Structure 1
């Protein structure tokens, strides 16, 4: 099966950004906080679902289907807290996506085919299903995890919950799986200043490529939304540019680097050539990002 990146080609066009401060914005919402590290999630409106399951003539799978030998083979249903904990430990550092659903929930039934389709395609991710109303054991598990509404998706790595969402559509679920899942070979993951400096050194000189550094936060909605675009560009522009990513709230070293680079909003894209920052773009717009990359590659761009 293909990796997560090959499944996701959905490219959003919003230009929303998230501030590193808590400055209020119109509508009563607030921008993503940088300090403390716990970031406020922002819902992002996206286009209609791309799940191939919706195109099937057969009746879509519903949560709790027992078709273990067929299309639900990689969605494993767990029935207790002990089973969930065991599955998380067995996954080690793989991404685990857990859907908390209920038999009476229409929305659970609507989103489940996308979960099934992702499980078929994303061999690097484990998918689990908890039917909250199945038994007292599953109800207790939902209470332990603080689940008050279904469908609810929790994302785990190394037994640690790294993200959670509820009330989302197929496109956002797919984007979340991509953002928190693969370690893509084409997008270099950076964890400190030394990583950045080493990558800059590799791409300096006459034969050096433009370095595009995607700076974001773990729980930033616009950062998640633009990431499929980054992954696709890292493949199509591999001959002329190198793409890398750093999450500012991953550790103290990343926070310090963002401050030194004067990053005040995310996502911010830094364009680096010959060890120098030659420009930056702040936003999550597909067209604008592509235009800026082309401009710093010396291509004349007319807006």
Structure 2
């Protein structure tokens, strides 16, 4: 049983995801985006656009249309409005859906983004209709959007992640993973943060579950909603924390010292000692391992 200070001096091998994402919902295939000089106007175009815009009920104010107050999705119409929205968000996560009026898949995924906007108050949501005008086509060209629906994730005006053709479950996972700032999962940004957390829980003997991953790891995103739910339901007995190994040099050094070679890896720590680990993104297996280290007999 290794203690937290029993560091390993070997070089860190290449960190790799261990599983592929298997979505709960069907993926929504992306379609090629044709950026022409004039908006398309046909019956399918208008019918599909209504599916998206029925929820909009837009009101014009200072050149910006706002979705209804429940949706919390802001529709932007130009490069300037887009940049202003990113700037106003500061370090909050901004999720942008690039859609098209003739894309059926855009209309299918949009309601799920609206639902997320209602439950994720610390995340800003934007909608860009790529074929709305010359201004929105310029924005899509600048952001190199070639297929819709396309989701881009920004923090501090920098793009940190993007996806095409995703379903609702992966969209939710991405939003929680990149934008979850106030949950019961404690965010670790350095080795010192981990050591401090361990010291705080030496007296209450709580099990610490440290979720170690990488910023752009699909399996890490896949399992995180489960981690989030467990952090709420097990708050009395278990402390959940997470660290992205590629956030900075201190985090990468910590992964090397803990001999983490694949992600996600879950380290189980109690009374200042590492008592075990689980490598993988299986939800059932993770819950089983946590229960086992809590003294519950688990059979597979």
- Give the TM-score of the pair, scaled to structure 2: 0.81
Distance 1:72 1:131, change over 3 A: farther
For residues 115-163 of structure 1, the C-alpha deviation after alignment (integer angstroms, 9 at most, x for no partner) is 1111222222111011111111111111111111000000111111111
What is the distance in 2 between the residues matched to 1:43 and 1:158?
29
For residues 65-89 of structure 1, the C-alpha deviation after alignment (integer angstroms, 9 at most, x for no partner) is 5414647741111111111110000
Q: In the TM superposition, what is the alpha-carbon distance from 1:295 to its structure 2 partner?
A: 1.1
Superposed counterparts of 1:226-241, under 5 Å: 226-241=223-238
Partner of 1:288: 285
Partner of 1:48: 25
Gaps of 5+ in 2: 1-12, 27-47, 59-66
Partner of 2:172: 174
For residues 156-203 of structure 1, the C-alpha deviation after alignment (integer angstroms, 9 at most, x for no partner) is 111111111011001111111111112134100000010000000011
CA contact (8 A) 1:234 1:241 kept: yes
Gaps of 5+ in 1: 1-19, 23-30, 34-41, 50-58
Mapped pair 1:270 → 2:270: no
Partner of 1:218: 215
Partner of 2:51: 62
Residue in structure 1 matching 2:206, options 193, 204, 209: 209
For residues 188-228 of structure 1, the C-alpha deviation after alignment (integer angstroms, 9 at most, x for no partner) is 000001000000001114x2201100000111111001001
Q: In the TM superposition, what is the alpha-carbon distance from 1:21 to its structure 2 partner?
A: 2.9
Residue in structure 1 matching 2:241, options 221, 239, 244: 244
For residues 48-76 of structure 1, the C-alpha deviation after alignment (integer angstroms, 9 at most, x for no partner) is 38xxxxxxxxx997334541464774111
- Give the TM-score of the pair, scaled to structure 1: 0.80
Stretches of 4+ aligned residues off by more than 4 angstroms: none
Q: Secondary structure at the match of 2:240?
A: strand
What is the distance in 2 between the residues matched to 1:61 and 1:270?
49
Distance 1:123 1:257, change over 3 A: same
CA contact (8 A) 1:62 1:112 kept: no
